[in-house]
Structure 1
Amino acid sequence: MPKIDVEDLISLVRNYNPKTNEDLIRLAYDYGERMHDGQFRQSGEPYFTHPVAVAAILTEMRLDDATIITALLHDTIEDTKSTYGELVDLFGKDVAELVDGVTKLTNLQLSSTETKQAENFRKLFMAMSKDLRVILVKLADRLHNMRTIKSMRAEKQAQKARETMDIYAPLAGRMGMQWMREELEDLAFRVLNPEGRNSIIRRFINLQKETGDVVGKITQDIRHELEEAEIDADVFGRAKKPYGIWRKMREKQQGFSRLSDIYGFRVITKNESDCYRVLGAIHSRWRAVPGRFKDYISQPKTNGYRSIHTTVSGRDGKRVEVQIRTRQMHEVAEAGVAAHWSYRDGVRAENPFAVDPAKWLATLNESFANAEDHDEFLEHVKLEMYSDQVFCFTPKGDVIKLPKGATPLDYAYSIHTRIGDSCVGAKVDGIRVPLWTRLKNGQSIEIITAEGQRPQPTWLDIVVTGRAKAAIRRSLREEDRERFIKLGRELARVAFEHVGKKATDKALRTAAKTLGLSSGTEVLARLGSAELRAAQVVEALYPDLATSQGDEITAERAVVGLDSDKQANRAQCCQPVPGERIVGITYPGRGVMVHAIDCPALAELEDETDRWIDVHWHSGKHPAIYNVTVNVTIRNDAGVLGRICTLIGEQKANISDMHFADRKSDFFRLLIDIDMRDVEHLHMVMTALEADTDVAAIDRFRDVTRQP
């Protein structure tokens, strides 16, 4: 039999809602028990103990009858012969829709591969947008499953715990239910790292032996100060949960003995003005820790959370965090978005601080609207669910909410994409600052724009909001696409000529189908961006030709079109490499010099056509013996030069020489001589370097003053 019988459950609901529909709850209880008859949990208990426990958890949030009934029935469609139509007839469409929504969420495998995970996240947020109570039931369902997880197989425990840590715990936190987030995290921590959790608990026990009841002593100290100030308020204290302490140890890279703020205290006042009186009393008694004060009363979080946070050096110098809020604020802090459905004395509680779920969902979904692919969507979701917030002001005094760690670029994109794209600088509190500056609460931001400015690739490492990242990526894709297509066409031409074929539009369209791409233009774009190698395209169409190119072509045979008694030499002014269009020029006493067709030195020889010889590179595989000088500007910082050399080596290229052309305090400009196989090899090396965030500029160095 279930541990909580129907009358006990009704009593829990009646405590906050005397007008509850007891008969409908009894009907749902009897119906659920009948549907699940003969089913058992892994622990051996009757299965219906689980839905009843989920309903009991939701009574702690004082939720409406429809949500409690949904909890009792949430597995009936999935696991029994019950149907949607039957639930409509018995309990009404509202309950049936909620049960159906929970069933669909249960079928989502949120911890699957990233592509599938992103699609399931989209479905999860769609379900939330229809009725947020679906997620409340699902979170309570997950909480009870985590409380009873020991009866599952070990591998199933690990999978559920990871899913809880990655998805459900942060989602509960994002919805404002911090108590649920903390418990879910700690239950998952118990499974994923039991030794780590036990070590925290053991250290706590030792600390209590050494210092006694610190929580009780500090609680009494705070109460004494409030009595002295004649402030009527309740004070509660607790040690933070093991996972919260573990996370702080990792974030701050400190051992347990050095971690100070492991105790938290709450002061619940009668009204808002008393919150600030309490703050004054605490700060006059203990020294405030700089940078640890946040006023979420004057600037609430989007999920309705309001409270004053301060950290002080308390008894014996121990840091303690104190949260100060009114009773109504505390109810929202405990229930989060769920406070919208909370009941008191038979009517829905009119809490002025409870956020409208529709508006909350609108702000959450806005960030996901511009995500163009699965990776971007997942990135947005995780950023949104894990982010704390800072509040900044526009020059007109309007408040802009941004995630913790946001920069002026994030601020610019939050105003408008056009403002972000054209941003060239920013002022914080009237002072010009770099675009990578991390914003703080209360700062006033002014964005400086310029016509013609375009987003830079390095901006992706500066911004933290999904909206800004999506806008920058979109702009970079549009800007680079034409350049990549042009470069890709040349690479395709060279590769196809190597096997005696032509890179026609039809050939490229056929290659696109073989490679699973949308068009021939997409093939060229990916060739130009180094996402695809030219050899792959050739192999897709001519596998026999692509794999039978024989031995490497020696330098003596590299150039075709010369008389047998003549030897070609590469001109150092343009340093042509196999795959580029070339021309031979005769020089008295020095034989034939091979120039790239776009070499600036050829302009002086336009009228001497008798010296020009029609030559081309031999088709086939060339060795990496063709020296090319690359002009690279890099940031002056530790390890950057070493990483640049490593990137070149990873492309199977050898550095034959290097010298510094310019040295400044913040950057170096280097000329690097690299041995290349062909133009595609050169392109791969330059693309790899250009993608590095510490490379400010890169181009091929050509000097017409060099001897040809």
Structure 2
Amino acid sequence: MSEAELLFSEVSQYLKPEDIAQLRNAYSFGQGAHSGQFRKSGEPYISHPIAVARILGTLHLDVPTLIAALLHDVVEDTDISKAEIGERFGESVAELVDGVSKLAKIEFQTQEEAQAENFRKMLLAMARDARVILIKLADRLHNMRTLEAMDPEKQHSIARETLEIYAPIAHRLGLNNIFQELQELGFRYSYPTRYKVLVKATKAARGNRREVVGKILEAINLKLKEAGLDAEVTGREKHLYSIYTKMIEKHLSFSEVLDIYGFRIIVKDIPSCYVALGMLHSLYKPIPGKFKDYIAIPKSNGYQSLHSTLLGPFGLPIEIQIRTAEMHRIAENGVASHWLYKSTDTDFNELHLQTSQWLQSLLETLSGSTDSSEFLEHLKIDLFPGDVYVFTPQGKILTLPRGSTAVDFAYAVHSDIGNCCVAVKINGEDAPLRTVLKTGDRVEIVTAPYAKPNPAWLSYVATGRARSHIRHFLKNIQFDESVKLGERMLNQALLTFNINPDTISAAQWEKLVRDSAVKSKNELLAEMALGKQLPAVVAKRLAAPEAISREQIAGPVTILGTEGVTVQFAKCCRPIPGDAIIGMIKKDYGLIIHTYDCPNISHSQKSSENYLDVTWGKDISRTFEAGIKVAAENKQGVLARVAAEIAKEESNIDDVAMESEDDYTEMRFILQVNNRQHLAQIMRSLRHIKDVARISRIKG
């Protein structure tokens, strides 16, 4: 029997004869479209769409999905258009085919950019119709099954992408069988040598395990019968990739991983699950901390089960899963269980609602990512399943990835809560925002109306959603700040050439923007602030015939202290208001402010185009870092006396280092001060301490 006839025979078990006729029509159309095309293996190309449709047939998917599977490559690989497919097979099929097709007609700068944009397109289509991803996963599964025909470099690249993106998507959608096969095949081609070693080792070890598995199965069955439970008990084989990751993550040897025996118990209803758990806990001792109730709190992909690890005969660990038949169906087929078992059960509706919410959340996260590498980073972060279950003050459960912090929680509730969060209470007690959450924590976020994200949050958030929102906010703030600073820098450069900034016409700006290959005047101004364009060069290009009088003096750029990330204060000399300063334009960093006498800047550098005159603005209200060195007699309590005097002058100590030599201790402080006068007042107060011998400011 041909592959096509096998497909028709398999799906005839649940489809009507008129559905099969439509499917035959689609097969003939696809066969004609792919006529003369062959796969790398030498097989006719049509064999691939048939195999994809057969995989989807096992999930009992509907006719439009199977037709779309048969035609999923015709738009990409032949001259047939989406419109033609719509006319012949309906708009639903055309949309599914378009959702699966790559963006083949667009030129991309890099492979990564192409990959990112194709995933973005697929996710948008997937949010409209989840069947798109089912076709894409079946397509990837068959490609992985036939990957042997590719060259090793291509094999490795496709396998890594499968492990990083497609297998996690299958897991998030609860498609357990597809997920595990994608993982196994991804492992086989990503690490061929390790895969072969593990295959050989497991074959040798499994023969010796049969007797032990048989004894445990017999004991479990007897115990469940005692309780009058009708249960199906099976031993679970560990998959190779699961063995490999456990060895790596937990630093275990192969024998230690394989010595864990797994069993699955399927019972008729939820109360029976808990009865079975109690019976097994009386048969073998449970290992403390190794029990998880995914029935009361389901996983984000709808998965439900009781998990427990027991100490079996000879002290062997036994992992058990207890679930109902319905839970098992969802565990194996996830989101596809809706098509597989046309059920109105609330579990299935809840599962689809969760899937839809996850997709919407993912799309919202990714919409803020403009950069390809950033997009893929967020996608990979968000795809890995949640392991931590925490509660809102109202008792709602949120699922977050392991390692998530209070900031991740805030953004999971709402982006506005994340942007304005200032503090957190965990289980009723104040805690730092960077606190890593644990399952069962009750989390309450404290917000302030004028608060904004801190760039330091990026160093500890764990979710793509939080990372994306923080970056998006900072980029917008940075852009606005950069535009304002760039305008001040350009005005100073124009005045240096005796050009009045007000005389620059709109036409001159339009020409400059066009010649600079930027999108707008504001973008050009921002680039100057970030050091990507030199103000002096831009000023020359803007030169207008109307010039101001020679008597007008070019003023320096005013530093207000509120510019944010576009202006940075050099750590080498730590300038503070009142110091004579100079600005250095550094590409991608913006304007770096140094003291005029900073030892890191030579006299010849100060006259280059990368440096510009800057001055402090009036009424600066923020504080700045300043370094001081205090030499004091090596006596008990001297540090406390110095610290108390600093605090009395309303200054915070950011850092302190001490070094003792003979009778003296040298203390180095980094303080928060308002200006030179404030620093001078602190130093005067410290000189009044009788044990202090010398005091000086640290510069350079």
**TM-score normalised according to structure 2 size:** 0.71
What is the deviation of 1:383? 2.3
From 427, 430, 434, the counterpart of 1:429: 427
1:183 is aligned to 181
**Larger deviation, residues 427-436 vs 325-334:** 427-436
CA pair 481-52 structure 1, distance change in 2 beyond 3 A: closer
How many angstroms apart in 2 are the aligned matches of 1:108 and 1:252?
Answer: 44
From 450, 457, 464, the counterpart of 2:455: 457
CA shift digits 1:13-34 (9 cap, x unpaired) = 2334567733333333444445
From 284, 287, 293, the counterpart of 2:285: 287
**Larger deviation, residues 148-157 vs 447-456:** 447-456
How many angstroms apart in 1 are the aligned matches of 2:596 and 2:56?
Answer: 76
- Tell me if 1:371 matches 2:362: no
- Tell me if 1:222 matches 2:220: yes
How many angstroms apart in 2 are the aligned matches of 1:172 and 1:268?
Answer: 23
Structure 2: segments with no counterpart, 5+ residues: 542-572, 585-593, 598-603, 612-623, 629-641, 648-652, 659-669, 684-695
- Tell me if 1:383 matches 2:378: no
From 395, 399, 419, the counterpart of 1:397: 395
Which residues in structure 2 correspond to 1:65-464 (within 5 Å)? 65-80=63-78, 84=82, 87-88=85-86, 90-104=88-102, 113-208=111-206, 211-212=209-210, 214-259=212-257, 263-343=261-341, 348-355=342-349, 357=352, 360-369=355-364, 371-374=368-371, 376-450=374-448, 452-464=450-462
CA shift digits 1:212-243 (9 cap, x unpaired) = 55544444443333223322121222332222
Which residues in structure 2 correspond to 1:667-678 (within 5 Å)? 668-669=655-656
Partner-residue secondary structure (3-state), 2:347: coil
What is the deviation of 1:126? 1.7
Query: Counterpart of 2:326 in structure 1: which amino acid?
Result: Q
From 607, 614, 636, the counterpart of 1:619: 607
Structure 1: segments with no counterpart, 5+ residues: 544-569, 581-594, 599-615, 624-628, 634-660, 672-694
How many angstroms apart in 2 are the aligned matches of 1:230 and 1:631?
Answer: 77
How many angstroms apart in 2 are the aligned matches of 1:99 and 1:383?
Answer: 27
Would the aligned equivalents of 1:109 and 1:120 in 2 still touch at CA under 8 Å?
A: no
How many angstroms apart in 1 are the aligned matches of 2:21 and 2:184?
Answer: 37
Would the aligned equivalents of 1:407 and 1:439 in 2 still touch at CA under 8 Å?
A: yes
2:9 is aligned to 11
Partner-residue secondary structure (3-state), 2:3: coil
How many angstroms apart in 1 are the aligned matches of 2:56 and 2:134?
Answer: 8
CA shift digits 1:500-542 (9 cap, x unpaired) = 68795859988766654445554554555xx4267x5545676
How many angstroms apart in 2 are the aligned matches of 1:331 and 1:318?
Answer: 29
Query: Counterpart of 2:347 in structure 1: which amino acid?
Result: F
CA shift digits 1:431-477 (9 cap, x unpaired) = 33322222222322222334554332222223223333333334444
Would the aligned equivalents of 1:423 and 1:453 in 2 still touch at CA under 8 Å?
A: yes
CA shift digits 1:26-78 (9 cap, x unpaired) = 33344444544444322223333222222221122122233223323333444
What is the deviation of 1:575? 5.7
**Larger deviation, residues 270-279 vs 406-415:** 406-415
Provide the alpha-carbon RMSD of the alignment.
Answer: 4.5
Which residues in structure 2 correspond to 1:636-647 (within 5 Å)? none
What is the deviation of 1:198? 1.6
How many angstroms apart in 1 are the aligned matches of 2:74 and 2:532?
Answer: 53
Partner-residue secondary structure (3-state), 2:363: coil
CA pair 575-34 structure 1, distance change in 2 beyond 3 A: closer
Would the aligned equivalents of 1:108 and 1:120 in 2 still touch at CA under 8 Å?
A: no
What is the deviation of 1:87? 4.3
CA pair 271-474 structure 1, distance change in 2 beyond 3 A: same
How many angstroms apart in 1 are the aligned matches of 2:157 and 2:609?
Answer: 49
2:470 is aligned to 472
Which residues in structure 2 correspond to 1:14-25 (within 5 Å)? 14-17=12-15, 21-25=19-23
Partner-residue secondary structure (3-state), 1:21: helix
CA pair 68-450 structure 1, distance change in 2 beyond 3 A: closer
1:680 is aligned to none
1:650 is aligned to none
**Larger deviation, residues 328-337 vs 510-519:** 510-519
Query: Counterpart of 1:61 in structure 2: which amino acid?
Result: L
What is the deviation of 1:424? 3.1
How many angstroms apart in 2 are the aligned matches of 1:58 and 1:466?
Answer: 30
Would the aligned equivalents of 1:229 and 1:281 in 2 still touch at CA under 8 Å?
A: yes
Which residues in structure 2 correspond to 1:597-616 (within 5 Å)? none
Partner-residue secondary structure (3-state), 1:46: coil
Would the aligned equivalents of 1:413 and 1:467 in 2 still touch at CA under 8 Å?
A: yes
How many angstroms apart in 1 are the aligned matches of 2:116 and 2:52?
Answer: 27
Q: How many residues align?
A: 586
What is the deviation of 1:124? 0.8
Partner-residue secondary structure (3-state), 2:376: helix
How many angstroms apart in 1 are the aligned matches of 2:105 and 2:260?
Answer: 39
Query: Counterpart of 1:619 in structure 2: which amino acid?
Result: S
CA pair 397-509 structure 1, distance change in 2 beyond 3 A: same
CA pair 158-377 structure 1, distance change in 2 beyond 3 A: closer
Query: Counterpart of 2:3 in structure 1: which amino acid?
Result: I
How many angstroms apart in 2 are the aligned matches of 1:333 and 1:525?
Answer: 51
Would the aligned equivalents of 2:273 and 2:323 in 1 still touch at CA under 8 Å?
A: yes
How many angstroms apart in 1 are the aligned matches of 2:153 and 2:476?
Answer: 45
Would the aligned equivalents of 2:141 and 2:182 in 1 still touch at CA under 8 Å?
A: yes
Would the aligned equivalents of 2:404 and 2:463 in 1 still touch at CA under 8 Å?
A: yes
What is the deviation of 1:195? 0.7
Partner-residue secondary structure (3-state), 2:430: strand
What is the deviation of 1:83? 5.4
How many angstroms apart in 2 are the aligned matches of 1:541 and 1:504?
Answer: 9
**Larger deviation, residues 103-112 vs 276-285:** 103-112
How many angstroms apart in 1 are the aligned matches of 2:442 and 2:606?
Answer: 63
**Larger deviation, residues 362-371 vs 514-523:** 514-523
What is the deviation of 1:187? 0.9
Would the aligned equivalents of 1:303 and 1:336 in 2 still touch at CA under 8 Å?
A: yes
How many angstroms apart in 2 are the aligned matches of 1:185 and 1:46?
Answer: 27
CA pair 322-701 structure 1, distance change in 2 beyond 3 A: farther
CA pair 80-484 structure 1, distance change in 2 beyond 3 A: closer
Would the aligned equivalents of 2:23 and 2:67 in 1 still touch at CA under 8 Å?
A: yes
Query: Counterpart of 2:325 in structure 1: which amino acid?
Result: R
- Tell me if 1:50 matches 2:48: yes
How many angstroms apart in 2 are the aligned matches of 1:269 and 1:229?
Answer: 12
Would the aligned equivalents of 2:301 and 2:354 in 1 still touch at CA under 8 Å?
A: no
Which residues in structure 2 correspond to 1:533-612 (within 5 Å)? 536-538=534-536, 576=580, 578=582
Query: Counterpart of 1:631 in structure 2: which amino acid?
Result: A
Partner-residue secondary structure (3-state), 2:348: coil
